Amino acid sequence: GGGGGGGGGGGPDIQQEEVTDEHRSVMLQIEQKDQQLDGLVDQVGQGVMELGQLARGLNEELVKQNIMLEGLEERIDNTSNNVENLNAKMKKTLSEMGRSADKCMMDFICLVILLGILAVVYNMFIKK
């Protein structure tokens, strides 16, 4: 009865070899998938590096534009102050004159009408 046990040990060795072949096949597939994943990870890493470079480039451009905008803001403030000063001077000058622009325009229109009437009267008397 004991010898039968030894013979039984030979049977599982054949089965062990078949399982080992299956394991090798599975391990080979796992290695191939692992290599594919490594390739994908490398591609993702490359993409992240490119995005990082783009982000740094955008940051540099934004810094430049921010400097330009600060300069523009300063020029706008200066121009606004100049316009306010000019408006104040004009208002002061008009108040010193005591006449508004509308009154000056009315005087000009009256002067033109008066010259027109004088021209008509002059033509009436000179042509006679």
Span 73-115, pLDDT tens digits: 888 888 888 888 888 888 887 777 765 667 778 888 999 999 9
Residue with the bigger pLDDT between 21 and 60: it is: 60
In percent, the amount of the chain with pLDDT more than 90 equals 36
Question: Would you state the pLDDT for residue 19?
Answer: 62
In this model, does residue 14 exceed pLDDT 70?
no
Q: Please give the average per-residue pLDDT across 52-62, as a whole number.
A: 95
Predicted confidence (pLDDT) per residue in 118-128, tens digit: 988 888 877 65
SS (HEC) of the chain: CHHHHHHHHHHHHHHHHHHHHHHHHHHHHHHHHHHHHHHHHHHHHHHHHHHHHHHHHHHHHHHHHHHHHHHHHHHHHHHHHHHHHHHHHHHHHHHHHCCCHHHHHHHHHHHHHHHHHHHHHHHHHHCC
